Amino acid sequence: MSHTSGTESAQTASPETVANIAAIREELCTLHAELVRYDLVVWTAGNVSARVPGEDLMVIKPSGIDYDALTPESMVVTDLHGTPMDGGWGNPELTPSSDTAAHAYVYRHMPEVGGVVHTHSSYATAWAVRGEAIPCVLTMMGDEFGGEIPIGPFALIGDDSIGRGIVETLSGSRSPAVLMQNHGPFTIGATARAAVKAAVLCEEVARTVHLSRELGTMLPIENAHIDRLHERYQNVYGQ
């Protein structure tokens, strides 16, 4: 992997890196609109990031910018410690999301992850406030999450604490989603689009399981069936 430094400019980067970042900026602009479309965010909260292939770089939403004002050019390029890149990589007046340190920590410690999403979607966050994992009682959960959606530890924003909690919780889980206690869901994926999909499905199952619990006793799914569901969905389903 190339180790692009904070002093390297966009003009001296390889054409492949420049093209990758341009494509990622376009994709992230589209994916942030998906968060709005699925009612996963309000105001300026929430963010999507993506790793730049072959580089120690990531691209993430700027802090405090309205979703309808986002453009590809407004997406911020940082290194994998959350430091914005200088030298023509973007608008120097824009700072990256306040969750950048958490995203960067995930990329540093989970090399298989290519995208990270954070929302405060209502039902998933309600489970996080309870400090309660979402039990695997839906075949959809077996498919996408391979079991329950786990709870991560309480952590304050501003340093690596949230990132550490995400990595520690998901490293031993098949789930691409974690509910950070008293905070909300974070999701990961091989791509930013996969992480957004996980965020959408996390909110959907959080809502459905909550409604089911309100109706009465929920019926568990046997672990062997969960394993079969997950294996089929991950390796057979789709094109």
Give the active site residues: 118, 120, 143, 183, 237
The radius of gyration of the chain's CA atoms, rounded to the nearest angstrom, is 18
Sign of CA dihedral 23, 26, 30, 35: positive
How many residues are recorded in the chain?
Answer: 239
DSSP code of 90? S
**Which residues have a Cβ under 8 Å from the Cβ of 130 and sit 6 or more positions away?**
none
CA 212 to chain centre: 26
Question: Scanning the structure block, which residue is given the tokens 């990031």?
Answer: 49
Label the pairing between strands 151-152 and 177-180: parallel
Around 50, how many Cα atoms within 13 Å sit in the side-chain half-sphere? 23
